[in-house]
Amino acid sequence: MLDVTQNLELDRTFGRTELVDPFGRAISYLRVSVTDRCDFRCVYCMAEDMSFLPKAEVLSLEELDRLCSAFVARGVRKLRLTGGEPLVRRGIMTLVGSLSRHLRAGHLDELTLTTNGSQLAKYAADLKAAGMRRINVSLDTLDPEKFRAITRWGSLNQVLAGIDAAQSAGLKIKINTVALKGVNDDEFPRLIEWAHGRGMDLTLIEVMPLGEIGTGRLDQYLPLSLARARLAERYRLDDIDYRTGGPARYVRVAETGGTLGFITPMTHNFCESCNRVRITCTGTLFMCLGQEDAADLRKPLRASEANDLLFGAIDEAIGRKPKGHDFVIDRRHRRPALSRHMSVTGG
Ligand SMILES: C[S@@+](CC[C@H](N)C(=O)[O-])C[C@H]1O[C@@H](n2cnc3c(N)ncnc32)[C@H](O)[C@@H]1O
Ligand code: SF4
């Protein structure tokens, strides 16, 4: 059991003022990276020889609970656990179980997860029992060899077994597929028909220039405007109004009846409706995925058992949330626009 006695004290402060940034956007969605570690080494996300953080720098499960609860107390209604791979964090189910009290209390609308699926067979039933309703699973190909080449260390069969287990447990699944030029772009119809055939939505994601990964970003980048145009030759894609406040735009594929999303940070500006912030496993708050500016919340968290310092630091940080970002792959130097990896903030 997680000892959250101190955090329960915090729960009694619910109803404090909501977090609203200088541009009037209410912050209702928090994404939390619970570990920087992963059992895969996807080529667009990590270098093969990644070095990971020492344990002392990473927030404990109690600290993660306290930090998440502070945001829930300030109006966050949706919490997504991510990583690295969230399901390889030791004790992850203890954290999920403890955070689920906010669902039961009606302070949180959704507790969810983005996972590579490798550990789902083990955890799916427990996640459902803790109140999760739907999760995102990342899957870029249905070809076992290609899967191994993209993830370097992953096994497609293990992930497919995880997806089976999650569906049997009653979890709704959205598949996230990173579009990689010359790697999986010929597979989109197959992936769409497979996902929709199993009642899962699918979202295509443009590769974002985050972190040194050892291979050229320009070689991987496929503008989704192009992918969409190609898909439109084969399917009828009807725009639908569904929005999540994030960078995704959705269509209904008439032939399958399923929903297809496009996350296009490189070709589309989605900042005006941004309702989210991100926390790393060291307690660093990023107000924008595409900017370097960040606030250290671990210091106030560890400095005092009372939450005044923490709330002060959160307020100060949200007051600096920028209007937007501008991702650019530096064509002259072939460098990423930002040096941190996606596994730091968890997407
Ligand atoms: C960083 S992962 C963390 C959660 C989990 N390990 C997973 O793969 O789902 C979150 C999402 O970010 C995506 N991602 C990682 N690096 C990316 C990049 N450079 N550009 C776009 N998406 C990326 C992954 O495909 C995944 O869907
Ligand atoms: S995308 Fe997810 S599964 Fe792949 S290396 Fe990054 S964190 Fe791990």
DSSP-assigned letters across all residues of 158-192: HHHHHHHHHHHHT-EEEEEEEE-TTTTGGGHHHHH
Rounded Cα gap, residues 211 and 336, in angstroms: 6
Please give the helix or strand (H or E) that residue 286 lies within, else none. strand 284-286
Task: Map residue 30 onto helix, strand or coil.
Answer: strand
Whose tokens are 């101190």? That residue is 6
pLDDT surpassing 70 at residue 12: no
Task: Map residue 295 onto helix, strand or coil.
Answer: strand
pLDDT surpassing 60 at residue 203: yes
- In this prediction the pTM is 0.92
Q: What is the pLDDT of residues 49-75, one digit of tens each?
A: 989 999 999 999 999 999 999 999 999
Ligand 2 centroid – CA 232 distance (Å): 29
pLDDT surpassing 60 at residue 331: no
Residue whose CA is at the smallest distance from ligand 2 atom 4: 42
Does 13 or 86 have the greater pLDDT score?
A: 86
Ligand with smallest separation from the Cα of 136: 1
Share of the chain above pLDDT 70, in %: 84
pLDDT band at 329 (very low <50, low <70, confident <90, very high): very low
Which token pair is 40? 């895969």
pLDDT band at 339 (very low <50, low <70, confident <90, very high): low
pLDDT value of residue 221 = 85
Bridge-based pairing state of the strands 276-279 and 284-286: antiparallel
pLDDT value of residue 330 = 43
Q: What is the pLDDT of residues 90-141, one digit of tens each?
A: 999 999 999 999 999 999 999 999 999 999 999 999 999 999 999 999 999 9
Whose tokens are 């964090």? That residue is 89
- Are 30 and 63 within 8 A, CB to CB? no
Exposure on the CB side of residue 127, measured as CA atoms within 13 A: 34
Least confident of 21-30, 34-43, 193-202, 257-266: 257-266
- Mean pLDDT over the full length of the chain: 89
Q: Given the CA of residue 345, which atom of ligand 1 is nearest to it?
A: 1
Arithmetic mean of pLDDT, 273-299: 90
pLDDT value of residue 328 = 47
- Are 33 and 330 within 8 A, CB to CB? no
Ligand 2 centroid – CA 47 distance (Å): 11
Which token pair is 253? 């594929």
Arithmetic mean of pLDDT, 287-303: 90
Q: For the chain, where are the alpha helices, taking DSSP H only? A: 5-11, 61-73, 92-104, 120-129, 144-151, 156-169, 188-197, 217-220, 224-234, 298-303, 308-318, 342-345
Residue type, 88: V
pLDDT surpassing 60 at residue 237: yes
pLDDT value of residue 242 = 75
Rounded Cα gap, residues 243 and 108, in angstroms: 19
Q: Which of 35, 36, 37, 38 to mutate to test the pocket of ligand 2 (most atoms within 8 A of CB)?
A: 38
Whose tokens are 């606030």? That residue is 295
pLDDT surpassing 50 at residue 149: yes
**Ligand 2 contact, 45 CB (< 6 A):** yes
Arithmetic mean of pLDDT, 5-34: 80
Arithmetic mean of pLDDT, 1-19: 68
Ligand with smallest separation from the Cα of 345: 1
**Ligand 2 contact, 41 CB (< 6 A):** yes
Which residues lie below 8 Å from residue 222, measured CB to CB, with a gap of 6+?
A: 179, 180, 181, 185, 206, 207
Q: What is the dihedral angle through the alpha carbons of 274, 344, 176, 122, rounded to the nearest 10 degrees?
A: -130
Residue type, 118: S
